[in-house]
Structure 1
Amino acid sequence: MMSQSGPQRYISDNEAYDVLLTFAEELGVKRVLFLHGEKSLAAAAPYLPDLSKSFDVTDVPFGGECSYDEIDRIKAIAKENDVQMVIGLGGGKVLDTAKSATTGTHLYLVLMPTLASNCAPWSALSVHYKENGEHIDHQIYKETANLMLLNPKVILNSPINYFVAGIADTLAKFYESELIFDNLKPEEFTVALMMSRQNAINCKEVLLRDGLGAIEDMKNGELTHRWRNVAETIIVTAGTVGGWGDEYGRATGAHSVHDALTLYPQTGNLLHGEKVGYGILVLLMMEDKLDSFNELLPMFREMGVPTNFAELNLPDFSDEDIDALATEATTEEKMIHFMPMEVSAQLVKVAMLKMEVVAKQTA
């Protein structure tokens, strides 16, 4: 097992971006590649220092997907311009691309999240997709970012559906690891595993207690302690679960269902966390944890997280379609097989069909 903490330095503050110039100058950096989403740049611009006054900046708008083609494009631009540092500003796919482009190189890496939608700013891994949004794989890296800068004001003003998706994605940290940790003997718990498990519990407790309230704070534009705690739980605490726990704290069943759903263009308008949220419900039904299922269901409905095929934009899903989805969710390489139980496509299918019944009964 290999444990990794997060970025070498982490600053969360309304003036966090001001650290960037001094940090880079102290490292002797002269040339930087600035990778960003266009909307993210517009949101962060009021708080960003003028990089061009201190560095030779190669400005690169993000292509839209963390794909191998996009990663190769960024690598080529970095090499052509002989940059010393890559700065990634944006959502998870932008940051994952920056991580993929710099891993194994001499380049410094700075990550500046503009969304609280997942733990990509903290984790030492990237999830890769095809250009059409279909999931390919994920890679775990030996390096972590040199610096991560979080400005709460920028994230508070981001689209709220990403924040909602982040809550669902972060709840998966607990529900996906719960069965794995429950099957470990007390003497198998190292300090790293104890930290991973406790942080997974923290993810659940914070979000179940404060998640809905934090959404209301965000709707009202209020930067409350409650909202900030939830936002940093999504970005930081969630990242430490897999960081400390490695394969014991990484994604399993819920994310495997998400990965299978990416093959269906009808789900393309749904965010990563929204599909993971549906996957959590499938996972709980597979494990026959009805109390947890019934606890989450009303919260997910209030948040707008999909709970059935119709809400996944798959209203006419046939029995054959369900078979195909369940089979895809359980292919050999899927992380669902980290679960310490016998997993099959039939088990996944039965869980999804049970959810459809519940959806109709409780509509």
Structure 2
Amino acid sequence: MMFSQCGPQRFISANDAYDYLPTYFEEGGIKKVLFLHGEKSWAAAKPYMPEMPASVAIIDVPFNGECSYEEIARVKEIATQNQVDMVIGLGGGKCLDTVKSVTQGTNFKLGLIPTLASNCAPWSALSVHYHENGEHINHEIYHETADIMLLNPQVIVNSPINYFVAGIGDTLAKYYESEMIFENMQPEQFNTQLTISRAMAQACRDDLLENSEQAIADMKKGEVTPVFRKVVETVIVTSGLVGGWGDYFARATGAHSVHDALTVFPATSDSLHGERVAYGILVLLALEKREDEMAELLPLYRSMGLPVCLADLNLDGSDQDVVAQIAHDTSADGTQIHFLPIDTGEQAVARAITRVEEITAGETVA
């Protein structure tokens, strides 16, 4: 059975988006709110925050930086002990994924306030879980979406550029991970949900190939231009609609399986989620023998600084043990790469990794 859901119940994208919070609290009878956030995220958002009503108590909780089961349990205990009405996550994807996990199966309302455009976590109804050391565990899909999501482009334009670039890499995967599945479906299988999902995946690719470099240039100047805002909303909203409407037909496949395998290596801990996914796209395209599309992506990758080979992730691409380990973990039983209708075995993945190394030899990103 296919389960589709659009996204947050209410969504505002504007430089004054946060100003709606007092009204939302009043309309919903919300008296006590837990805010989970990182220090940098709060510093970025605070200048745009309205004064909260005296009738609303705020429980301020610093985020420990990892969407782990330990952190979820800690935050949930604080929320329960304080009998809060609502839990709001303010920050990047891991912070938002944590509050999504905290509120599932409870009566807590859920609010999401992204301070980065690094993935679709502000839109999607799922959480990716990690060990405390950053190693990937799993992901969980929820049937409950956020009650409200507030996006302030001015906060995003002042965020670190490398997170924005990583978000572009992660969002490109929406198309490349789903297109082969869509291509192999029969016309009669396409219902309204899948038609929307595929259109959104194609929009992710088209918008980013056309506008990413200009959006990054605008961000470097600190300007919230129409192009910058379009790319931000593509990363957060359009990408979230792909899996939201397409369910298991359009969720993460090969590129994210490569990402998950890479998290086992401590050397990759300095790289961002979207950077590892972006490299995974190249492996996926090599696996699918779509090298012409890889050639189309490589100039954009190099201009933005996304990884094009294992050396860019602090790994030795000539070390066959490294290649074998990545291939083994990528193709392990139960990984998402097996959604693809091709050979996704360990040897096939190893050959794809090696092929990426061959194609990008001498073209690594500095």
TM-score range, shorter chain: over 0.9
**1:195 matches 2:203:** no
Contact 2:285–2:291 (Cα < 8 Å) also in 1 = yes
CA contact (8 A) 1:267 1:312 kept: yes
- 1:27-74 residue CA offsets vs partner (Å, 9 max, x unmatched): 111111011111000000100123363411110000110000000001
Cα deviations by residue, 1:231-271 (Å, 9 ceiling, x for unpaired): 00000000000000001110000000000000000000000
Contact (CA 8 Å) 2:96, 2:122: kept in 1 or not? yes
Q: Does 1:307 align with 2:308?
A: yes
In structure 2, the residue matched to 1:160 is 161
Counterpart residue identity of residue 130, structure 1: H
Q: 1:86 is matched with which residue? A: 87
Which stretch has the larger CA shift, 109-118 or 335-344? 335-344
Corresponding letter in the other structure for 1:91: G
Q: Paired residue for 2:170?
A: 169
Give the conservation status (yes or no) of the 8 Å contact 2:316–2:322: no
Q: 1:43-54 residue pairs with structure 2 within 5 A?
A: 43-51=44-52, 53-54=54-55
Which whole-Å deviations, capped at 9, do the CAs of 1:56-115 have from their partners, x for residues lacking one?
111000011000000000110001101010011000000000100001111111100000
| CA RMSD, Structure 1 to Structure 2 (Å) | 1.0
**Matches of 2:183 and 2:249, distance apart in 1:** 11
Equivalent position amino acid for 1:28 in 2? G
For 1:109-162, what per-residue CA distance to the aligned partner results, in whole angstroms no more than 9, with x for missing partners? 110000000000000000000000000000000100000000010001000000
Counterpart position of 1:282:
283
The match for 1:68 is: 69
User: CA separation of 1:65/1:12 partners in 2, compared to 1, >3 Å: closer, same or farther?
Assistant: same
How many residues of Structure 1 are paired with residues of Structure 2 in the alignment? 363
The runs of at least 4 aligned residues of structure 1 exceeding 6 Å deviation read: none
Contact 1:21–1:54 (CA<8 Å) still a contact in 2? Answer: no
Task: Give the CA deviation at 1:315.
Answer: 3.0
Bigger mean CA deviation after superposition, 21-30 or 172-181: 21-30
CA displacement at 1:357 relative to structure 2: 1.3
TM-score by length of 2: 0.98
CA contact (8 A) 2:92 2:114 kept: yes
CA distance in 2, matches of 1:129, 1:61: 18
Checking the alignment, whether the CA contact within 8 Å between 1:84 and 1:107 is kept in structure 2 is: yes
CA contact (8 A) 1:117 1:273 kept: yes
Residue 42 of structure 2 corresponds to 41
Question: Does the 8 A contact of 2:3 with 2:247 survive in 1?
Answer: yes
SS in 2 for 1:53: coil
CA distance in 1, matches of 2:73, 2:287: 39
Q: What SS does structure 1 have at the residue aligned with 2:20?
A: helix
Matches within 5 A, 1:25-36: 25-36=26-37
Structure 1 residue aligned with 2:221: 220
Aligned to 2:270: 269
Q: For 2:361, what is the secondary structure of its paired residue?
A: helix
The sequence identity of aligned pairs, in percent, is 58
What are structure 2's unaligned runs of at least 5 residues?
none
Q: Secondary structure at the match of 1:342?
A: coil
Aligned partners of 1:317 and 1:141: how far apart in 2?
40
Check if 1:116 corresponds to 2:86: no
In the alignment, the residues of structure 2 paired with residue 44 and residue 53 of structure 1 have an alpha-carbon distance, to the nearest angstrom, of: 20
| Structure 1: gaps (5+ residues) | none
Q: Could you tell me the TM-score, scaled by structure 1's length?
A: 0.98
SS in 1 for 2:111: strand
Tell me which residue corresponds to 1:255: 256
